[in-house]
Structure 1
Amino acid sequence: MPSKLYIQGRLSIVAQAEVLLHTKAVLGEGPSWDEKNGLLIWVDIEGKVLHTYKPDSGEVTAKTLSQRIGAAVPRASGGVVLAMQDGFYAYDPTGDELTFLGNPAGRKEETRFNDGKCDAAGRFWAGTMSLHGKPEQGALYCLEKDLTIRTVIENVSCSNGLAWSPDNRTMYYIDSPTKKVMAYDYDLATGELSNGRTAIDVTIEGAVPDGMTCDAEGMIWVALWGGYGIYRWNPVTGELLLKVDVAANQSSSCCFGGDELTDLYITSARVGIAEADLAEQPHAGALCVYRSQVKGLPTYAFGG
């Protein structure tokens, strides 16, 4: 049963995620739910591995590719679309075929793609970051269904979580070092952003916001890298509603899946953790799950 705990001076609920798969990912990231195939997709960025998990059968696959993979989303026409180190690719797992789709014009050198997600219209949003930790080298891009690529936000240090409100009128975005979740007015018909403002200031010591998702009630669930968990906030009031404890300090991202969209799948990482410290958190890099009483929003497929 969830317990109560004061976090940042506020009374909040604390729940516990369970370890689902001991994957020991170097940098687990980017989970997405393929509703059509009942399949969870996620990546190990540094391991260059595309993972899948089928809850109904317990079947697990791991495919090592040629580049770092920042994010993977299902494609409406079949297969997946990947944001890789050198650009956007389509991947057909049945034929083990990787097809280059494009790379943003003007993209800075020595960067790689990081997190990404599709909006309800089928556009694929994904951003970049420096390979060497340099600030403001990245950007947020949008891969349109006609395969053109737009640069939307520049001078980003570590492009990360994306989410949309249930009515698709608000987009949430994280540039991790800012320790903020930004909100933008969103036009689903055009994919245009406006009126950027801070929705959440993350003031938890030692933690930065990473990946995120939104639920059917309009609340956002944010993975805190360095925070041992997922935090559920009201993005309108700023109220912290829930912490889901995860047995890995570097919780990296989350998405809802399962038949009822009530299973919150959580990725984590072990990159940068000394061997001695890994003995204290043996589940670092695992795939975890929290059985929520709140229904999530679906993962949208790329429509191109």
Structure 2
Amino acid sequence: MRSPFDCVLDIKASLGECPVWSVDEQLLYWVDINAPSLNRFDPLTGQNTAWAMPEAIGCFALRADGGFVAALRDGVWFADRDGKLGREIAGAPYDPAHHRFNDGRTDPQGRFWVGTMNENRDAATARLYRLDPDRALIPMISGITISNGLAWSPDSRTMYHADTATRTISAWEFDPATGDISNERVFARFVGESDRPDGGAVDREGCYWSAFYRGGRVVRISPRGELLAEFSLPAMCPTMCAFGGPDLKTVYVTTARQRREADELARLPQSGGIFAMRVDVPGMAEPKFGGQRCNSTRLRTSA
């Protein structure tokens, strides 16, 4: 059966991640964690612009006053509109020999949430942090192995979070005014070897979309946790999905080709590309980080 997804950028990224649609520019931003770069893709022209990063970049967010906030291995940094790193916002709250920042997203009120992962995948030592606009980095969830899947419901009252290693997506009650979370519940749990929830997104009907790493598909789950649909991709390792396009009815999915066997890559040569599929239900515009420039003494002078 033919996949409903088309490859719109056959770039063969090692670990493509964190697709973010800029409504203002009508452009898709994304990262390659392993070949460290922040990228800008124009769907109309097919052109991709890559800005090299000095080390692994797990995720980023658009900023309200322009540019980006980027989570690198050694900390969270401001970056300008051309991907040039500026001042450090917060240092890495972990041992970078064993951990790094992974998935992240801005909540509807402009706070940047960023999770970490244990690169050995042998212990639940990772955490999820909240970076407030005043640049305070606050630990919110502990006991995670691979933090992923951040997304918020349309009414901003529910926060979703996945631990890929445990194949579990959790839902938390979310207070938009304070950014506090409470009353965790299991939203969806999977048991199959290929059922590894990675990055997620929510559409305007409140349905949660999850990319199944090593599963070759994206799933749509109802607000009640019911599996509604599955969509296959011509790549085994989708990593994250995002809604884009003028009407926010295009689902973009980043993928990876790291550690895949040669015969699989021969069969699925577009692995590591960016894929797109049109849908009937639109997503929501990606919020921007509200933090302003800081007076940190640590400044990147070059990449």
Are 1:141 and 2:113 matched, yes or no? no
Instruction: Classify the secondary structure of the residue corresponding to 1:16.
Output: coil
CA contact 1:104–1:151 (8 Å) conserved in 2 = no
One-letter identity of the residue aligned with 1:218? G
Deviates more, 1:85-94 or 1:112-121: 85-94
Deviation at 1:130, TM superposition (A): 1.8
Cα distance in 1 for residues equivalent to 2:195 and 2:171: 20
Are 1:275 and 2:262 matched, yes or no? yes
Deviation at 1:156, TM superposition (A): 1.1
Deviation at 1:108, TM superposition (A): 4.0
- Corresponding position of 1:54: 42
Which runs of structure 2 are paired with 1:151-230 in the superposition (5 Å)? 151-230=139-218
- Corresponding position of 1:290: 277
Structure having the larger proportion of residues in strand: 1
- Corresponding position of 1:6: none
Deviation at 1:275, TM superposition (A): 2.2
CA contact 1:42–1:50 (8 Å) conserved in 2 = yes
TM-score (norm 1): 0.91
CA contact 2:218–2:231 (8 Å) conserved in 1 = yes
Deviation sequence 1:16-74 (CA, Å, 0-9, x none): 11111011010011111111222211111111011111224433201111010101211
User: For the aligned residues, what is the CA RMSD?
Assistant: 1.6
- Corresponding position of 2:294: none
TM-score (norm 2): 0.92
Specify which of 46, 54, 66 is matched with residue 66 of structure 1: 54
- Corresponding position of 1:250: 237
CA contact 1:104–1:150 (8 Å) conserved in 2 = no
- Corresponding position of 1:31: 19
In structure 2, the CA distance between the partners of 1:30 and 1:94, relative to structure 1 (3 Å rule), is closer
Deviation at 1:137, TM superposition (A): 2.0
Cα distance in 2 for residues equivalent to 1:210 and 1:234: 17
Cα distance in 2 for residues equivalent to 1:69 and 1:188: 27
Gapped regions of structure 1 (runs ≥ 5): 4-13
Deviation at 1:280, TM superposition (A): 1.5
Deviates more, 1:54-63 or 1:191-200: 54-63
- Corresponding position of 1:20: 8
One-letter identity of the residue aligned with 1:212? G
Deviation at 1:95, TM superposition (A): 7.5
Cα distance in 2 for residues equivalent to 1:59 and 1:281: 22
Specify which of 279, 289, 294 is matched with residue 302 of structure 1: 289
In structure 2, the CA distance between the partners of 1:289 and 1:135, relative to structure 1 (3 Å rule), is same
Cα distance in 2 for residues equivalent to 1:216 and 1:164: 11
Deviation at 1:267, TM superposition (A): 0.4
Aligned residues: 290
CA contact 1:200–1:235 (8 Å) conserved in 2 = no
In structure 2, the CA distance between the partners of 1:124 and 1:280, relative to structure 1 (3 Å rule), is same
Percent of paired sites with the same residue: 37
Cα distance in 1 for residues equivalent to 2:111 and 2:218: 26
Deviation at 1:97, TM superposition (A): 3.8
Instruction: Classify the secondary structure of the residue corresponding to 1:47.
Output: coil
Instruction: Classify the secondary structure of the residue corresponding to 1:127.
Output: strand
Cα distance in 2 for residues equivalent to 1:84 and 1:97: 10
